[in-house]
Amino acid sequence: MDLETYLREGRMQVDQALDTFLPAEGLLPSSLHRAMRYSVFAGGKRIRPLLLLAACEAVGGGRDDALPAACALEMIHTYSLIHDDLPAMDNDDFRRGRPTSHKVFGEAIAVLAGDALLTEAFILLSSPVGNRRLPPAVGRDVIQIIGRAAGSLGMVGGQVVDMESEGQTIDFPTLEYIHTHKTGALILASIQAGARLGGADEPAYAALSEYGAAAGLAFQIADDILDVVGERESLGKGVGGDQSRGKATYPALLGLQDARGRAIELRDRAVAALAPLGGAAEPLRRIAHYIVDRSS
């Protein structure tokens, strides 16, 4: 398989579905719907929806049944980026190559666009239209998996510890807590939701969960490394922000070389976990490599 083609086609499919699922710009209140769409369609990599679709297909599931949940994940991810960029948090001016939501729409609309995207995600996850062919128990599990990963025991919790650790010397377990919660939790949930939607049995679910946990942490370490060595143009946002904010990162704690070594170790662990799934898991193997080697 050609990974670039796989990613491009997957992104197009996800974008088309997002366009269908998001309220139209013309619907009242139009300023809010414009802000929601502005950030969703600003050109993200769509890694979470793609992981969900790939996990679903790795266990024999169909893409159509998984697309609503894939889009819901991207909505939750986009809300987190909008809120993370706010003056009360990272106070960033650029994201995905464009001025951030609060710079364009003002702080109040940016907060509300994030709130509405989070809410829209759960409307979509629980919608009988999008999920008409799924047994209700599967739908309920997916809502639980994604809700827990996004909430105070997952992404939001990781964000809080990250904020509270700024400018402090933190130990390695705290750093791992931040990374596995702030970023890793939603990536693991993408894989677990995809596995559940695809009808994974227990061993396949466990193998995919191991993949998701390792790939999620590797993704964040790669993000830390890109903040040091990446290019502003390909990242679509400023670089060096972690260091100037006194954020705890892998390169800061381990040095660049060891941080890269840890990301590679996790990538290899993720790929090894897929052994029982055979050829159907090939896209997931290739995505694990992409996660560590990417430039944006």
Q: Are 219 and 188 in contact (CB under 8 A)?
A: no
Q: Quick one: tokens of 277? A: 């799934």
Q: Nearest approach, Cβ of 235 to ligand GRG (angstroms)?
A: 8
Question: Looking only at residues 237 through 296 of this chain, which bind ligand GRG when binding is defined by CB under 6 A?
Answer: none
Work out how close the CB of 47 gets to ligand GRG at its nearest, in angstroms, rounded to a whole number: 5
- Residue pair 142/197 in contact (Cβ under 8 Å)? The answer is yes
Give me the least distance between CB of 183 and ligand GRG, in Å please.
Answer: 4
Residue facing ligand GRG at closest CB distance:
44
Residue 104 C-beta: closest distance to ligand GRG, Å: 16
**Rule CB under 6 A: is residue 223 a binding residue for ligand GRG?**
yes
Q: How far is the CB of 26 from ligand GRG (least distance, A)?
A: 26
Scanning residues 58 to 117, which ones bind ligand GRG (CB under 6 A)? 77, 80-81, 83-84, 96
Tell me how far, at minimum, the Cβ of 150 lies from ligand GRG, in Å. 8
Cβ distance to ligand GRG smaller for residue 139 or 154: 154
Q: Are 176 and 162 in contact (CB under 8 A)?
A: no
Cα 236 to chain centroid distance, Å, stands at: 16
Q: Which residue from 45, 140, 262, 269 is in contact with ligand GRG, where contact means CB under 6 A? A: 45
Instruction: Tell which positions 159-188 bind ligand GRG, by CB under 6 A.
Output: 159, 182-183
* Binds ligand GRG (CB under 6 A): choice among 10, 18, 21, 44: 44
Q: How far is the CB of 170 from ligand GRG (least distance, A)?
A: 16
Residue with tokens 């996004």: 150
Question: Using the rule CB under 6 A, is 47 a contact of ligand GRG?
Answer: yes
Contacts with ligand GRG, 120-159, as mask; x by CB under 6 A: -----------------------------------xx--x
Considering the complex, state which of residue 47 and residue 66 has its C-beta at the smaller distance from ligand GRG.
47
DSSP for the chain, please give it: --HHHHHHHHHHHHHHHHHHHSPPTTSSSHHHHHHHHHHHTS----HHHHHHHHHHHHTT--HHHHHHHHHHHHHHHHHHHHHHTSTTTT--SEETTEE-HHHHH-HHHHHHHHHHHHHHHHHHHT-TTTTTTS-HHHHHHHHHHHHHHHSTTTHHHHHHHHHHHTTS---HHHHHHHHIIIIIHHHHHHHHHHHHHTT--HHHHHHHHHHHHHHHHHHHHHHHHHHHH--HHHHTS-SSHHHHTT---HHHHH-HHHHHHHHHHHHHHHHHHTGGGGGGGHHHHHHHHHHHH---
The span of 39-47, 58-66, 193-201, 202-210 binding ligand GRG (CB under 6 A) equals 39-47
Smallest separation (angstroms) from ligand GRG to the CB of 264: 18
228 lies in the site for ligand GRG, by CB under 6 A: no
The two tokens of residue 141 are 């599990």
Q: Please give the residue ranges that form the binding site for ligand GRG (CB under 6 A).
A: 44-45, 47, 77, 80-81, 83-84, 96, 155-156, 159, 182-183, 220, 223
